Structure 1
């Protein structure tokens, strides 16, 4: 701390981290892959309408976009999307690599040759006017077959659940661009949900995952294996592993042709290899996670190397990149400052590419050379936009909740290199409830958190019961307890911070988006812990979800989170914040995208109708062109500034530098 630090009240510290800076650095790279010797990946462009750009790293180290704006490399399969691109290097071909990608605007697959002068993307798949149309994800290019194999999501009616999904083959010659019949369906449609197929090295077998309602992929999936005939059709599709109570989240083939997969059959997602007799052997049995929740198709927690070693993302509550020797079970972790690795790995020869971050750096593309053990940043490099002394200094904490259960959290105290607060003042704190809810908050640099901590407002990220990263038993704490355990755990952390003198009991807030928005709203209706709350694109009415007011992927999610509706309809009514607006007495800010098909605006509107003339200060801001999760810089700027204004008014703070005042209705 600077010896010349000025003493100023919490919430009044002048920070160089403004909302525009935080918005410009929102999001992270994703879906890394090798194309020949080049690493390619997608990355966000908040200032370009929130599109996802596809970027390549040239041999000389230069990064450049593969496609110009407005191409948006992103798909909407299961609404959360999945891997949106694949490419074949075509060594020796003067045309260079062949890229296949999905464009967000029309969801079609396109083929593109970026090294061919004047080339333009050409469509490979047709449009459909039925429901949500045709969508494609998790592609693999098979030049020898003249096809790209992927997941096809096809709407059969106008309703959000009028949809089917199959493994499909799309011809690369463009013959299916106007002809749906030219797309070959490879799987038999037995599963409601599937992942993209992985072809064995000899081309004789293929593997993919499938599951059905009401299970989510972290509840139970089946690993399917089929023979591949000479004509490219599948034969003898059979369940190799998995079931209703076993979650398999990734499968692929080792170079020697043996099948690898990640399963939680022991209560932890571990990596297995199929033995010749069909039995599966754990390669590194540990009470650690070598996998995670399959929220997007095409996530990868492991990648087999030609040497027989396997690159793995693993850990408990945090993740590391390791190199696993499947013969000994030993894992050697990559050295470096990174403490969190995404489920996105790619390999080429002895090289491994991944996406990593730390509490002092945002997500960046990192390459590990397994020969030397050296890891280096090769893309989307973190570049401090401000003096890093303004970054928060997080603490990894474990708290005790009801019945003595452990609750994991990250605590970000207020921090500023030039300011301290008066000795007799305790800081305001905002509890951040992550989305999912089957997910977790990673311990990484987030300038949206720094926006608050550098002004003198603390943040507590709570990985409440139900979060991933701590084994299946921790995850299952939320079964039929959504709106109870998450609310209790967040409150327990907030009150513990107040009881120990870390936070001001009178100045506690809660905020969250999606499922975190639900936890925030449920907390305001069932507890008196918080002085206010910020609710982003939330779930508010469980009954409406049951009645089809959401998308297909999560349409039966509540059967595990709340219980079967036919058996416990009262539970749906009792827990829904929208049905109990009269219980909300604390001011709140409600933020919603008007194009959100996962948590539609209608839920917010029903809550607001019940809040009219109740005298509770609140504000509602709806954003045109935004869906589930905000992507545009101007949206994110307004969101952060509105949130800060809410806390300033409720906590009686005086933010330095000027912040637009949020008008609160009553």
Structure 2
């Protein structure tokens, strides 16, 4: 018997060697993948398709814009250089179309007022005033001169405007020089040397959007108090400039009613306009000197976005009676021209997925626009035409591989409210799947959570769809762009409401036969990561989860959060009271015994918001319990994965994770991701 077995083994070895030699000597090719007779496409399992879009290409250098600052002859714009880890420089677009670099990206123009910053640049003629990220000080940068620092260390500035009296500018200031919380003010700064500046407005918790009237006689600004966020309740104030350059007679014009007022702007003739959500939607109002808000244009759409950043601009005057504005309705964005006296609008463009920084220039209205395709850039509106005036470095993608979003919405059986989302089906011209298969689904949850998914082209989504995945990007309760009521419907319900919406959204596309309901994963980053952990710990719909820098301990988040967001968690969950069990009840960290689905944790070692030891503790606990779990930590990252090489590694690790969980072989050559307790995965 032993001799027979040895002889059989020898025969098999000889046959195998002969097969290999025949392939090498006679170029006998291994059998090809089967092809569909009608289309000629290769037939392969969803997830296993070869894609022209690699992880390296997803995160290849592709620049993005920040702010636009028009001047009499040209336009300044800030631009993040992806090849330099996203550092921000400032360029000038001249009337002849030439672009020149004025501030090198190594300077890194970023403000950290309210931590998230925004509006770090002011242009006045040939001079720029810019905040340097490294020290948060404001510098004057002029041709053929060394940069001049204007502000003391320990202070932060943003959202500056030119001052009518003398050589000064007006800025929002955040002062971190004292112990405890930083103080907020609006200050006037000298432009020639380092100075404390003159405090014009103080006493409020937060300030934004100082704006000067065209006759240089009046200053308007926005203020709000804790525990409000700027999308909850804010106030509009005005004051007159006095002969000495200070202000007098400050008074609140709007704010006694509940509403988020934003983006004050004077018309060329000196009338004051704002965007406010008094009627549930962020619409446009004219403000009288007596403090009455007169509706200018009321639509079931949003003319603004949440002010996580300072310096948002969604409308600009062409003339006293005519303006351009961007509006989002049911997840779609369009540009309108409003004829104020007639109360009429005309559509200027509807092909943009995202529009921001709508500003008046010397020869038209400019804006930053992106589409559902890779095209993005700086555009100009003149008359009824929209023209691209500058395009950044982008990486093209064969249109045949681009999956275009199918907007969906349905009424929730749980809340009775609408749930919105964008569904992306698999798209690859070279492949189809076997007839008996449906694609695996990745449900994506945006961060914030007061933010939104948009239709803008995302290469990371196309990475998945071109391999045979479906993607569902959900605008759950609490998302912006759908009115104040919807935005606040998450309050008191974070960790529950958005998860329920994600579950129902996954069920919606599953019931229609669009996806395989047994292969549904959920992923999110930061606040979205908290929702993913909540979904896996408290519900059992999803077969796998991927968490980037996910919040898991609400008590720790409440203790460590910065001033800007101190009241935010109290809105989202409820006020933390002594000995209250609420935060622990909602914190996935304390309910890991309920988590059973495979989980991939991606974490930065230097994360100040979600300490690495927190994610490591989740990993260790699940590993002990026999739950399939993988952990990927980057020692040089903070909150989120920002560096291109790390993002590439994380995306490939995620693909490896899904392939092991859902049981397919990816076409990509991947470094194997180790999943602890992988034998517990059931396909």
Normalised TM-score (structure 1): 0.92
Match of 1:546, SS state, is helix
Cα deviation digits, residues 516-557 of structure 1 (max 9, x gap): 11111111111111111111122211111222x122211221
Q: Pick one of 426, 443, 448 that aligns with 2:460.
A: 448
Match of 2:540, SS state, is coil
Q: Pick one of 428, 439, 442 that aligns with 1:427.
A: 439
Alignment of 1:254-269 (within 5 A): 254-269=267-282
Cα deviation digits, residues 146-172 of structure 1 (max 9, x gap): 12211111124565xx21111112211
Change (3 A) 1:622 1:550: farther
Quote how far apart the aligned CAs of 1:607 are.
3.2
1:172 paired residue number = 191
Q: Pick one of 49, 58, 71 that aligns with 1:22.
A: 58
Say whether the 8 Å CA contact 2:302–2:483 is kept in structure 1: yes
Whole-Å separation in 1 of the counterparts to 2:648 and 2:623? 27
Whole-Å separation in 1 of the counterparts to 2:225 and 2:613? 28
Match of 1:368, SS state, is strand
Alignment of 1:152-191 (within 5 A): 152-157=173-178, 162-176=181-195, 182-189=196-203, 191=204
2:96 paired residue number = 60
Question: Do structure 1's residue 543 and structure 2's residue 555 form an aligned pair?
Answer: yes
Cα deviation digits, residues 449-480 of structure 1 (max 9, x gap): 00111011111000001111111121121110
2:657 paired residue number = 646
Cα deviation digits, residues 418-448 of structure 1 (max 9, x gap): 1111111110110000111111101111001
2:296 paired residue number = 283
Whole-Å separation in 2 of the counterparts to 1:353 and 1:600? 41
Whole-Å separation in 1 of the counterparts to 2:63 and 2:422? 20
Q: Pick one of 175, 178, 200 that aligns with 2:213.
A: 200
Match of 2:349, SS state, is coil
1:82 paired residue number = 118
Question: Do structure 1's residue 483 and structure 2's residue 495 form an aligned pair?
Answer: yes
Match of 2:585, SS state, is helix
The structure with higher relative contact order (CA 8 Å, sep 6+) is 1
After alignment, is 222-231 or 298-307 more displaced?
298-307
Whole-Å separation in 2 of the counterparts to 1:243 and 1:45? 43
Say whether the 8 Å CA contact 1:518–1:538 is kept in structure 2: yes
1:318 paired residue number = 332
Whole-Å separation in 2 of the counterparts to 1:141 and 1:27? 29
1:400 paired residue number = 411
Q: Pick one of 276, 280, 283 that aligns with 1:270.
A: 283
Whole-Å separation in 1 of the counterparts to 2:565 and 2:350? 38
Cα deviation digits, residues 352-388 of structure 1 (max 9, x gap): 111112212353211111xx21111112357552212
Whole-Å separation in 1 of the counterparts to 2:326 and 2:279? 18
Alignment of 1:500-649 (within 5 A): 500-547=512-559, 549-566=560-577, 569-601=580-612, 603-608=614-619, 610-649=621-660
1:242 paired residue number = 255
Say whether the 8 Å CA contact 1:138–1:151 is kept in structure 2: yes
Cα deviation digits, residues 307-351 of structure 1 (max 9, x gap): 432221112122222222221222222236323212x11112451
2:150 paired residue number = 124
Whole-Å separation in 2 of the counterparts to 1:194 and 1:542? 27
Change (3 A) 1:662 1:201: same
Change (3 A) 1:50 1:384: closer
Unaligned runs of 5+ in 1: 90-96, 129-133, 177-181
Change (3 A) 1:289 1:7: same
Q: Pick one of 139, 162, 166 that aligns with 1:141.
A: 162
Say whether the 8 Å CA contact 1:429–1:507 is kept in structure 2: yes
Change (3 A) 1:365 1:466: same
After alignment, is 301-310 or 650-659 more displaced?
301-310
1:106 paired residue number = 135
Match of 2:80, SS state, is strand
1:46 paired residue number = 82
Say whether the 8 Å CA contact 2:81–2:105 is kept in structure 1: no
Change (3 A) 1:545 1:336: closer
Say whether the 8 Å CA contact 1:360–1:444 is kept in structure 2: yes
Change (3 A) 1:33 1:267: same
Quote how far apart the aligned CAs of 1:188 are.
2.1
The structure having more radius of gyration, on CA atoms, is: 2
Q: Pick one of 372, 383, 388 that aligns with 1:377.
A: 388
Change (3 A) 1:60 1:506: same
Normalised TM-score (structure 2): 0.89
Q: Pick one of 388, 393, 402 that aligns with 1:391.
A: 402
Quote how far apart the aligned CAs of 1:631 are.
3.1
Whole-Å separation in 1 of the counterparts to 2:355 and 2:579? 39
Whole-Å separation in 2 of the counterparts to 1:507 and 1:615? 21
Cα deviation digits, residues 14-40 of structure 1 (max 9, x gap): 111111211125673221221223222
Q: Pick one of 327, 330, 334 that aligns with 2:341.
A: 327
Match of 1:586, SS state, is coil
**Aligned pairs, how many?**
639
RMSD of equivalent CA atoms = 2.1
Quote how far apart the aligned CAs of 1:122 are.
2.3
Say whether the 8 Å CA contact 1:50–1:633 is kept in structure 2: no
Match of 2:107, SS state, is coil
Say whether the 8 Å CA contact 1:288–1:471 is kept in structure 2: yes
Q: Pick one of 466, 477, 486 that aligns with 2:478.
A: 466
Match of 1:553, SS state, is helix
Unaligned runs of 5+ in 2: 1-35, 678-683
